[in-house]
């Protein structure tokens, strides 16, 4: 599924499959003809009442035969009774509405091969493993719409990922970021912070460690501070997605979201 995502131009992380599977091992579905997968979808359960759809792809030669629709139905059935989210192509909003989704906001990908990194005070930034996991999980949940401990443990521990936290003067978590290498360049996500200054500090801490190629931020467009930071770095918007839900969006501190973990899992 990750290889298919790469062929679609989604530029997945080099080790995404391991962490994604940890989120919900049974949440990745495929339609097969013999041993060959024809279409796939992820229908990942988070907590008792949330779910997220991603990786909705059909093999080009299998499109137009109803196979994709069948795997979509299987994914939605797996998440029945939950508030389900997705990041879909904006042009497909009408189709998602037919399945009960409503637009919440738009997310956008910003990137630059040569970002302008403003100097920042990074002295309060340390390895994510140096703080209590429960505290980190609570901070992540505040911004992600609920707890996702299994995914988070894998995300910060995956080889090649650089997971960092920023602490305030009292020693509480004020920001959290994970930098990961991708097929092209690196993505910084999530990037959650109490304020723009903390977000900039986490970016300054991460930037020297990025892989060759573009630095990428997937951010919620309603967060004007996140957009301003990306533009100040010389990043260009390369595409956008429609964040949609089947019910009211789960509560989250959206003004503190300066980048998402991924479009595939939210």
The answer, as to whether pTM is greater than 0.75, is yes
Nearest by Cα to 111 from 198, 199, 237: 237
Q: Mean pLDDT across the stretch 90-105?
A: 93
Predicted confidence band at 90 (pLDDT cuts at 50, 70, 90)? confident
Q: Mean pLDDT across the stretch 129-147?
A: 97
Q: What is the pLDDT of residue 129?
A: 95
**pLDDT tens track for 45-64:** 999 999 999 999 999 888 88
Residues 6+ apart with CB under 8 A from 5: 12, 55, 57, 264
- Average pLDDT value over all residues in the chain: 95
**pLDDT tens track for 153-190:** 999 999 999 999 999 999 999 999 999 999 999 999 99
User: Distances in Å between the alpha carbon of 122 and those of 128, 201, 223?
Assistant: 14, 6, 23
Q: What is the pLDDT of residue 9?
A: 87
Residues 6+ apart with CB under 8 A from 260: 107, 189, 190, 218, 219, 220, 266
Cis peptide leading into residue 73 (ω within 30°) = no
Domains of the chain with bracketed CATH:
2-104 (3.40.630.30), 110-259 (3.40.630.90)
Positive or negative torsion for Cα 107, 54, 210, 138: positive
**pLDDT tens track for 31-47:** 999 999 999 999 999 99
Both structure tokens of 73: 């139905």
Residue 151 pLDDT more than 90? yes
């Amino acid at each position: 599924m990750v290889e298919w995502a790469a062929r679609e131009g989604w530029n997945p992380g080099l080790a995404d499959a391991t962490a994604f599977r940890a989120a919900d091992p049974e949440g990745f579905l495929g339609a097969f003809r013999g041993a060959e997968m024809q279409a796939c979808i992820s229908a990942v359960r988070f907590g008792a009442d949330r779910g997220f759809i991603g990786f909705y792809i059909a093999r080009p030669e299998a499109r137009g035969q109803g196979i994709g629709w069948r795997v979509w139905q299987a994914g939605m059935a797996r998440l029945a009774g939950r508030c389900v989210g997705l990041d879909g192509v904006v042009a497909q909003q009408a189709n998602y509405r037919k399945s009960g989704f409503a637009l919440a906001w738009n997310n956008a990908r910003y990137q630059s091969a040569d970002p302008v990194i403003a100097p920042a005070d990074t002295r309060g930034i340390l390895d994510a493993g140096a703080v209590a996991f429960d505290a980190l999980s609570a901070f992540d949940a505040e911004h992600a719409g609920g707890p996702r401990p299994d995914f988070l443990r894998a995300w910060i521990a995956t080889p090649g990922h650089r997971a960092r936290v920023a602490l305030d003067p009292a020693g509480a978590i004020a920001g959290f970021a994970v930098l990961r290498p991708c097929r092209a360049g690196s993505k910084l996500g999530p990037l959650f912070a109490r304020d723009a200054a903390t977000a900039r500090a986490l970016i300054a801490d991460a930037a020297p460690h990025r892989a060759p190629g573009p630095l990428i931020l997937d951010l919620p467009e309603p967060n004007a501070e996140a957009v301003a930071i990306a533009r100040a770095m010389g990043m260009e918007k390369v595409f956008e997605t429609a964040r949609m839900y089947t019910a009211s969006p789960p509560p989250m501190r959206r003004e503190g979201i300066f980048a998402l973990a991924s479009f595939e899992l939210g």
